[in-house]
Amino acid sequence: MDSSFKDPFTLEGKKILVTGASSGIGKQCAVQCSYSGANVIIFGRDADRLQDTFEKLKAGDHRKVIVDVCDRNALDSAISEVLQHYGSIDGMVYSVGLEHSLPFNFIKLEDYQTLFSVNVFAGFEICRLLLKKRGLNKNSSLVFISSILSKVANPGLVAYCASKGAIESGVRALALELVPNKIRVNTVLPGVCKTSMTDKFFDKLPEERVKDIIKLHPLGLGEPEDIAHAAVFLLSGASKWITGSSLVVDGGYSIH
């Protein structure tokens, strides 16, 4: 056995910030990061749900911060609080997101503004604050949970698709800009996974349409862990040659 061999997939010794950690994909990312060896900082708005995630983490030096990522001042203090404790961190998963099914005729300007603030702007603002406060170590990795709907369309989701497309192009530009800092930036593009967001989405659709959507996923609907595993890969050294890319994890949805 080669004793110098180090598992490139481990997050041992890393400190990772996971946003949207109170539910669904973000929650599973936080849990998986802790089991992969990281110390995890979790962000969310709902105290009870965030506590539930916190209790599911494997023992370590973890922290939880209740914060609305759209509240600029609160976000600034939250990041400062994190950096005060850890000095600097090694990566982030941005899994904050809002579902938004509305036919085009009904989408108002405020809807776009809300959706972009939550799905896009707050994620980039967190990165900016981390950089400005010199809170990202060399070889850090930033992972945005985007959506396969940034590439494949669906009616009734114009604003949502637009916001996910914005993440994709923004991430590519940011990835280039952060090359000198030795920081990688990537996205994961999930297909439909079983989370409360999907429940809300399905509640508004007729049963037949829901069945069609499920059928469009050759491997069936995804579990949050399917996305978490991809995120951990992108956070780990195993992906050190990957930046500005979009990792499709969609059960085959986009093969069609």
Ligand X SMILES: NC(=O)c1ccc[n+]([C@@H]2O[C@H](COP(=O)([O-])OP(=O)(O)OC[C@H]3O[C@@H](n4cnc5c(N)ncnc54)[C@H](OP(=O)(O)O)[C@@H]3O)[C@@H](O)[C@H]2O)c1
- The closest of 96, 97, 83 to 41, measured between CA atoms, is 83
Are 28 and 52 in contact, with CB atoms under 8 Å apart?
no
Which of residues 116 and 202 has its CB atom nearest to another protein in the complex?
A: 202
CB nearer to ligand X: pick between 83 and 248? 248
Q: What is the DSSP letter of 222?
A: B
Q: Find which of another protein, ligand X, none residue 251 binds, CB within 5 to 8 Å per kind.
A: none
Closer CB to another protein, residue 71 or residue 212? 212
- 193-222 residues in contact with another protein (CB under 8 A) are 203-209
User: Is residue 65 within the footprint of ligand X (CB under 6 A)?
Assistant: no
CB 12: neighbour CB atoms within 10 A?
Answer: 11
Interaction between residue 199 and ligand X (CB under 6 A)? no
Task: Give whichever of 13 and 206 is closer to another protein, judged by the CB atom.
Answer: 206
Distance in angstroms (rounded) separating the CA atoms of residues 195 and 164: 18
CA torsion through residues 213, 215, 221, 226, sign: negative
Beta bridge partners of residue 44, listed in sequence order: 66
Residues of span 110-139 touching ligand X by CB under 6 A: 118
Output 66 or 158, the one with its CB closest to another protein: 158
How many residues are present in the chain? 256
Should residue 229 be labelled a site residue for ligand X when binding is judged by CB under 6 A? no
- Token pair of 141, please? 């990795």
Alpha helices in the chain (DSSP H): 24-35, 47-56, 72-86, 109-116, 122-132, 158-177, 196-203, 207-215, 224-235
Of the residues 102, 197, 238, 242, which one makes contact with ligand X according to CB under 6 A: 197
Rounded to a whole number of angstroms, the minimum distance from the CB of residue 190 to ligand X is: 4
- Which of 5, 105, 109, 153 is the binder for another protein (CB under 8 A)? 105
Q: Which two tokens stand for residue 31?
A: 């849990």
Kindly indicate which of the ranges 23-31, 102-110, 168-176, 220-228 contains the residues binding another protein, using the contact rule CB under 8 A: 102-110
Minimum separation from the CB atom of position 123 to ligand X (A): 9
Query: What DSSP element (H or E) covers 90?
Result: strand 89-94
Among residues 25, 20, 125, which one has the least CA distance to residue 64? 20
Residue whose CB is less far from ligand X, 135 or 190:
190
For position 251 contacting ligand X by CB under 6 A, the verdict is no
* 70 vs 205, beta carbon nearer another protein: 205
Of the candidate residues 51, 52, 63, 68, the single one contacting ligand X (CB under 6 A): 68
180 binds, among another protein, ligand X, none (CB under 5 to 8 A by kind): none
What six digits make up the tokens of 179?
């090359």
Interface with another protein, residue 110, by CB under 8 A: no
Q: At what angle do helices 24-35 and 224-235 cross, to 10 degrees?
A: 50
Which residues bind to another protein, rule: CB under 8 A? 101-103, 105-106, 155-156, 203-209
